[in-house]
A and B are shown apart, each in its own frame.
Chain A
Amino acid sequence: MQGDDRERRRIGWRVMRAAIRPHRVWSWAGIGAGLLWTLARVAIPKLTGQAIDRGVDTKKYGNQLAMWVAILVVAGLFQALFTGLRRYAAFRLALRVETDLRMKLVAHLQRLHFAYHDEAQTGQLMANANSDIAQVNNVVLLIPLTIASTLMMISVIIVLVLSSPGLALFALVALPLLQIAATQFSHKMFPIGTALQNELAQYSAVVEETVTGIRVVKGFGAESRQIERVEKEAGGVFERSIAAAKLRAWFLPLIDLLPTIGLVGILWYGGHEVIRGHLSVGEIVAANTYVLMLIWPLRMLGMLLGQIPRAIAAAARIDDVLATDPEIFSSVHARSLPDGAGQVVFNAVTFGYGHGRTVLDELTLTIRGGEAIAIVGATASGKSTVARLIPRFYDVDSGSVVLDGVDVRELRLHDLRRAVGLVFEDTFLFSQSVRDNIAFADPHAPTEAIERAARLAGAHDFVTALPSGYDTLLGQHGYTLSGGQRQRIAIARAVLADPRVLILDDATSSVDPSKEHEIRAALAEVMQGRTTIIIAHRPATIALADRVVLLADGKIAADGTHEGLLETSAQYREVLARAESDGQSDGQSDGQSDVTTGVHPAGVRPPVAGSPIAGAS
């Protein structure tokens, strides 16, 4: 385990270094500006002391005072200039690193295979990644600031020791404790803070499910139960908050007290020394200012030391994602797709998802170019899997899938995916305009092409009736379409891509049958000149196909025309009958349902950006 931890730390550091490297100019700029800032900052108390000793606490009054005050003002301007620069450099670096890491992660996730996205709950993953990136950001920000601050501390110690070693001892003796206390505080606060966040999340979950499921709550009069649960969770939040307050109540006053001990030491020891004539009043005031000056850098160092282990662990977690290689990519020798009619051949294909059972078992099937084939089967018979293997969302375990004479694994992935158009059962539309959604495959498609695709999908009429027609925004901040309307947009999206092989995976299941009738005629036109694979339950939709394949247990159970199979295959009749009785041919599914089913998904919480305002100087 020890070795493992060390390995993780090494990885974490490597990720952080790699993230900083391209922008090291800014880290050097930050450190450089910090050095010059230190110089001025350390000089100022000294100058103050000089001004007191030579200008104020003296019998002669005049030029000496004016000169020291003038020098002090100049040093102040110098300090101000460089404090601005060092803040800018440090924050710029940290923001840059944060932005880059996020970009890298997202770009990488875009390339990862379906199986990865099936496993990982990406929403949760990204939420974690955001907080991990914020952790790294915090540390990257503090590094140049802390380097300058550390230099400042060293200079202060030197200056104090040179003026009086005894005074230095009394002034500084308590300060290391300050740094230790700050580190401890940061360490101990972290788990409590996390626990508080968890409690808040649980509380939010109860609130959210109550509001989302309000029909159930009201319908059964279960308000009291939910109130009880909310009160319990609010109690949990209370307990954790008080625990956090207890910790703060110990550490914050302590952190305030420790520098005061130095001030008391200066007054006592320094005072005696002044009376003995070994030190001046100016030096006492200067020493006081030095101690006050060290408070923030020490607290910051403490925070940094507390955060570094967490940031390294966070960076290692980011690396976990980045180190996952896409399993499906174009091979080095990938070739472009030769011309062809869109013939698809499954050669003894065996496939299963992950460690699960075998879904396709030595499936052999030839779909001729230009043919329209319907794949029918009971739930989990593997029919959707057939659809997903053609565009290589997954690779077969054994056997091969061949498109126009070439094993799909030997094709350029981009070519393959552009040649195969798939309309999913669960339609996903983007929060863009209807136009952008239809033109997804080709953002530069002319309006006529977009409208033609919409017409073929039976979407044109309702789209033109929308508030802004094709420019109507969909999704989160836009217009909400019904399930059937969404499916028709998705079909239009696939039609516009003009694929060689078109796969409709239960793509009209939510379309009102009366409207499906219109689409059916249009679909017949779309299917002209391309291979079409239809996965459906409704006999009317199946009838669009030239040929029907019945799938059972990952194998072909029957193969023929719809009429032929109805006559010869009892199994086929049974599958269709069940689909029908299950309401698959029900006519009301276009209606909008506003009860959300299931438990709400984990939302991606926006990250907390490193705030320059909250940062200490």
Chain B
Amino acid sequence: MRGQGHWADLVPDAELGRSDAQRLLRRLAGYLRPYRAKIVLSSILLIAQVAALLAGPSLVRWGIDEGLRNTAASRAHRFDVVTRAAVMYLVLAVLGLFLGRAVTLLIARIGESFLRTLRGTVFKHLMSLSMGFFEREQTGKLVARMTSDIDALQELISQGLVLLVQNVLLFVGAVVVITLLSWQLSLAVLLIVPPVYWSSKWFRRVSNDAYREVRDRISANMSTLQESLEGIRVVQAFAREDQFTKRFENTNEAQFESNLTTVKISAKYFPAVEFSNVAGTAIILGFGGYLVHRHLVTVGVVSAFVLYLNNLFEPIQQLSQFYNTVQSAGAALDKVFGLLDTKPMIVDRPGAFDLPSAGLGIVAEDVAFSYGTGMDLVLNRVSLVVAPGERLALVGPTGAGKSTLAKLFARFYDPTSGAILIGGVDLRDATMDSLRRTMCVVPQEGYLFAGTLRDNVRIGRVGADDAAVDNAVRALGLWDRFSAFEGGLDSEVSEGGTRLSAGERQLVSLARAALADPAILVLDEATSNLDPGTEQAVEAALESLMHGRTVVVVAHRLSTAERADRVAVIDAGGLAEIGTHADLVAAGGRYAGLFAAWRTHQQH
């Protein structure tokens, strides 16, 4: 659960095979079904636009053959033909403008609506996944699914999709038109296509590798940079500025070199393409000239071919440039679908019912748990009872399983065997909704969301009004403290706003719980140190929050355990001892030992 930053996102994507692509497309088609009508319409408009674009050279041919070179006809007729050709050309071009505009808008609407839905769908799905999923996955990866991966699709949709389809149509259309004009000449011209295709393919492959290298180098360079800035104080404290500058210089130059490699590749490819273009013209003129003299084609046809050559080359070039965009969009889509395929582990079973509203004790019945099949048991044969209104502290060494037990109470996981019952109901039979209403899990490391202080408290109960929030804050005796911020409860606590100390963040967390007002509280005590001055406030707030509720607290401080009704010592996945503080101390077992050690330390 540690953020990996944006660097992890730069890892190059694997190439997508043909069968993957087909699978993706089929699935994508499902998402695009709602836009069927619009897709059909935009396809028609696009075909019309391409036809309008392709008509130009044919009109030039008509103008030349029927107008300029039609020496048999009258001058007036020839002028008339030229004028009509020009007017038609202009009309078609203007028509093309409007068609192009309509297509761009339509496709943007389809694509962006799809993305908007996808963003919402993926996020909703993510929210339905259980806590266990989030503990397994790296934060950075999950965030990347929602951001950089979907951004890759956005890139394709906003920059390339229209051009992509348009270019394919242009190429196909141009081939059809020139074949109709003269099959002999078009066969000769199409000789150029294989070398262009092969060199594009070479370019794609080589530049793919080169860009992967560039991405790696950029990411390495940015890591060095980020580190040299984050660690600037250490660097200066040890007077290592020169060494660090040198280190950055190395990665910086490496980035330059890898970029230069891509330049060298394109400096080979683009000349080849430009030359093929000229070679194509030469073939048209040489072979076309021969055909003209054999009276197989007209001068107008040869001229039209020269003009159509553009429509053959542009698409091949453009398509080879899109290849990477399409590839990474495909890979991104694959990963996003992968996330959507993750099944939530914890869902309401059919016929699940709400928890009762009173008599809410907690029972663990012979609970065993492991984080995955084949993994060691974290908890084994734990049975205990928390009476309604009782305060139970879980103590034990780090990693003994006390936090895991608390997570099972909150149904972040289901036990591997045995059962957890609340109010006599097995949690697996209860609705998640009623469990969340009944129980709050309060991680004391108060995490803040962007927004005001009030918004942050409101997280405790979505939809609570301002008065309810204020009351919760008052109930914990925090009103004066919170109103003392510049801007009071409306202070922005995000970046650039009021900075809250660790203790103040905990207070926000407690206020959330007070607003939620649950019958059962599960508290995970803070492990980190608090700033002086807030500790007392946290203690007081905690005390009033716990009042009148069933409480399970994962205690890291034995002073907390001392104040609980009973203490359960969890060690090596099992329940070692349970009883009141006084009884356990008197019994002279594990807890008595822990407590004695802690006391000595306190007094040192």
Cβ B275 vs Cβ A613 within 8 A: no
> In whole angstroms, how far apart are the Cα atoms of A123 and B412 in the complex?
35
A268 at the interface (CB under 8 A from B): yes
Query: Which stretch (A1-9, A14-22, A147-155, A602-610) binds chain B?
Result: A602-610
**Per-position 1/0 for B440-467, Cβ under 8 A of A:** 1111011111100000000111100000
> In whole angstroms, how far apart are the Cα atoms of A231 and B299 in the complex?
61
Q: Residue on A with the closest CB to B234?
A: A428
Known: A597-B445, A612-B263. A96 touches B256 (CB 8 A): yes
Cβ A76 vs Cβ B218 within 8 A: no
Query: Which stretch (A336-344, A350-358, A584-592) binds chain B?
Result: A584-592
B179 at the interface (CB under 8 A from A): no
A325 at the interface (CB under 8 A from B): no
A238 at the interface (CB under 8 A from B): yes
Cβ B267 vs Cβ A85 within 8 A: yes
A480 at the interface (CB under 8 A from B): yes
> In whole angstroms, how far apart are the Cα atoms of A585 and B530 in the complex?
11
Query: Which stretch (B239-247, B418-426, B472-480, B583-591) binds chain A?
Result: B239-247
Interface residues in A, total, Cβ within 8 A: 169
**Chain A CB within 10 A, most for which of B60, B207, B268:** B60
B1 at the interface (CB under 8 A from A): yes
> In whole angstroms, how far apart are the Cα atoms of A69 and B290 in the complex?
12
> In whole angstroms, how far apart are the Cα atoms of A102 and B442 in the complex?
45
Cβ A204 vs Cβ B143 within 8 A: yes
Cβ B410 vs Cβ A219 within 8 A: yes
Q: Residue on B with the closest CB to A117?
A: B232
Cβ B299 vs Cβ A281 within 8 A: yes
> In whole angstroms, how far apart are the Cα atoms of A66 and B90 in the complex?
36
Known: A275-B82, A443-B243. A79 touches B274 (CB 8 A): yes
Cβ A428 vs Cβ B398 within 8 A: no
CB-CB contacts below 8 Å: A66-99 with B: 66, 68-69, 72-73, 75-77, 79-81, 83-85, 87-88, 91-92, 95-96, 98-99
Cβ A589 vs Cβ B529 within 8 A: yes
Cβ of B494: which chain A residues have Cβ within 8 Å of it?
Answer: 599
A122 at the interface (CB under 8 A from B): yes
Cβ of A249: which chain B residues have Cβ within 8 Å of it?
Answer: 100-102, 104-105, 108
Cβ A476 vs Cβ B7 within 8 A: yes
Shortest B408–chain A CB gap in Å is 14
Cβ A379 vs Cβ B531 within 8 A: yes
Cβ of B225: which chain A residues have Cβ within 8 Å of it?
Answer: 102, 106, 126, 604
Known: A48-B281, A582-B531. A220 touches B460 (CB 8 A): yes
Q: Residue on A with the closest CB to B134?
A: A214
Cβ of B278: which chain A residues have Cβ within 8 Å of it?
Answer: 44, 72-73, 75-76, 79-80
Shortest A608–chain B CB gap in Å is 9
**Per-position 1/0 for A271-283, Cβ under 8 A of B:** 1101100000100
> In whole angstroms, how far apart are the Cα atoms of A422 and B8 in the complex?
32
Shortest B217–chain A CB gap in Å is 10
A580 at the interface (CB under 8 A from B): yes
Q: Residue on B with the closest CB to A56?
A: B289
> In whole angstroms, how far apart are the Cα atoms of A332 and B311 in the complex?
68
Query: Which stretch (A250-258, A314-322, A464-472, A545-553) binds chain B?
Result: A250-258
A158 at the interface (CB under 8 A from B): no
Shortest A434–chain B CB gap in Å is 15
CB-CB contacts below 8 Å: B86-130 with A: 86, 89-90, 93-94, 96-102, 104-105, 108-109, 112-113, 115-116, 119-120, 123-124, 126-128
Query: Which stretch (B64-72, B189-197, B351-359, B380-388) binds chain A?
Result: B64-72
CB-CB contacts below 8 Å: B354-387 with A: none
B489 at the interface (CB under 8 A from A): no
Query: Which stretch (A221-229, A299-307, A526-534) binds chain B?
Result: A221-229
A235 at the interface (CB under 8 A from B): yes
Cβ A604 vs Cβ B505 within 8 A: no
Within 8 Å by CB of A272, from B82, B119, B235, B440, lies: B82
B548 at the interface (CB under 8 A from A): no
Cβ B533 vs Cβ A379 within 8 A: yes
Shortest B493–chain A CB gap in Å is 8
> In whole angstroms, how far apart are the Cα atoms of A252 and B163 in the complex?
11
Cβ A220 vs Cβ B532 within 8 A: no
CB-CB contacts below 8 Å: B389-424 with A: 398, 410, 412
A200 at the interface (CB under 8 A from B): yes
Within 8 Å by CB of B302, from A56, A83, A220, lies: A56
Cβ of B7: which chain A residues have Cβ within 8 Å of it?
Answer: 476
Cβ A267 vs Cβ B5 within 8 A: no
B249 at the interface (CB under 8 A from A): yes
B471 at the interface (CB under 8 A from A): no
Within 8 Å by CB of A612, from B6, B104, B266, B535, lies: B266
Cβ A245 vs Cβ B158 within 8 A: yes
Cβ of B255: which chain A residues have Cβ within 8 Å of it?
Answer: 99, 609
B238 at the interface (CB under 8 A from A): yes
CB-CB contacts below 8 Å: A122-163 with B: 122-123, 126
Cβ of B101: which chain A residues have Cβ within 8 Å of it?
Answer: 249-250, 253
> In whole angstroms, how far apart are the Cα atoms of A207 and B139 in the complex?
10
Cβ B116 vs Cβ A603 within 8 A: no
Query: Which stretch (B32-40, B146-154, B327-335, B567-575) binds chain A?
Result: B146-154
Cβ of A617: which chain B residues have Cβ within 8 Å of it?
Answer: 270, 274
Cβ of B53: which chain A residues have Cβ within 8 Å of it?
Answer: 256
A462 at the interface (CB under 8 A from B): no
> In whole angstroms, how far apart are the Cα atoms of A126 and B6 in the complex?
14
Known: A87-B266, A606-B219. A225 touches B462 (CB 8 A): yes
CB-CB contacts below 8 Å: B334-355 with A: none
B165 at the interface (CB under 8 A from A): no
Cβ of B119: which chain A residues have Cβ within 8 Å of it?
Answer: 203, 230-231, 234, 237
Shortest A225–chain B CB gap in Å is 4
> In whole angstroms, how far apart are the Cα atoms of A257 and B53 in the complex?
10
Cβ B108 vs Cβ A593 within 8 A: no
B184 at the interface (CB under 8 A from A): no
Shortest A93–chain B CB gap in Å is 10
Shortest B603–chain A CB gap in Å is 9
Cβ B303 vs Cβ A216 within 8 A: no
CB-CB contacts below 8 Å: B283-333 with A: 285-286, 288-290, 292-293, 299, 302-303, 306-307, 310, 321, 324
Within 8 Å by CB of A79, from B99, B275, B533, lies: B275
> In whole angstroms, how far apart are the Cα atoms of A114 and B249 in the complex?
22
> In whole angstroms, how far apart are the Cα atoms of A72 and B53 in the complex?
27
B598 at the interface (CB under 8 A from A): yes
Known: A208-B143, A249-B104, A603-B5. 4 other contacts (CB 8 A): A61-B293, A114-B236, A284-B303, A585-B604
Contact sample, A vs B, 25 pairs, CB 8 Å cutoff: A52-B299, A56-B288, A56-B299, A76-B279, A79-B275, A84-B271, A103-B252, A106-B245, A126-B225, A203-B147, A212-B139, A220-B461, A237-B154, A250-B101, A260-B93, A263-B56, A263-B60, A288-B60, A428-B233, A431-B227, A585-B604, A596-B447, A605-B6, A612-B267, A617-B274
Q: Which 5 A-B residue pairs are closest in the complex by CB-CB distance?
A: A76-B278, A245-B108, A221-B436, A253-B100, A271-B82
